[in-house]
Chains A and B, each alone.
Chain A
Amino acid sequence: QKEVEQDPGPLSVPEGAIVSLNCTYSNSAFQYFMWYRQYSRKGPELLMYTYSSGNKEDGRFTAQVDKSSKYISLFIRDSQPSDSATYLCAMSVYNQGGKLIFGQGTELSVKP
């Protein structure tokens, strides 16, 4: 079993839809949770970053962490064609900065 599981999709939604992306994990030592976005032929870039449990909102994006269920989510409201990309969840344990464990990535397509 992988440490971090993510449905690879692909996921296709109409413009304006609410998108929910999810990851589950098995290592209870994970403390830092991130979502990276990767456009085609580009490297990933950090989108959202949370520590421990809770929610974080940034514009149309909301990241949720439920450590009791070992489950993290990324919600995208009012999705736009420019949101079409691969979304990668990533996690790390405390004091091992930079050694991230990534999910498989979910390919999202937002249709106009």
Chain B
Amino acid sequence: DVKVTQSSRYLVKRTGEKVFLECVQDMDHENMFWYRQDPGLGLRLIYFSYDVKMKEKGDIPEGYSVSREKKERFSLILESASTNQTSMYLCASSVQGGPGANVLTFGAGSRLTVL
């Protein structure tokens, strides 16, 4: 019954490495999102996408980029990882338009540690 799959649950990377976080959804949703979750800060939106090859910056896009080549797949890229990017990363998807767009289905998260 898995609907949003994040391929890596735990990653440990070194400062300066390029990091790819992959997310796949099987619900044919148009919208896909990347959030990061930090203690005391809640969830903050990094990037989102309303359609294939389309992306928009969220509230904290600095240091990140994204790719959406297929409708079901949304990748988050850290071009040069830094220690302040150590966090839990959550991918989500929703339908496009109307109140249903706020009903996000989340993946289980990817916990990234940058040393």
Chain A positions near chain B (C-beta within 8 angstroms): 4, 6, 8, 32, 34, 36, 41-46, 49, 51, 88, 90, 92, 97-100, 102-105
Contact = CB atoms under 8 A, between A and B. Distances in A.
Interface of B: 4, 31, 33, 35, 39-45, 48, 58, 90, 92, 94, 96-109
- The 10 nearest A-B residue pairs measured at CB: A97-B101, A43-B106, A102-B43, A104-B42, A102-B42, A98-B101, A98-B31, A98-B94, A44-B106, A32-B102
Contact of A97 (B45, B92, B99): B99
Contacts of B45: 99-100
A45 B10 CA distance: 21
Contacts of A36: 104
A36 B35 CA distance: 14
Contacts of A8: 39-40
A110 B108 CA distance: 23
A52 to B, nearest CB: 11
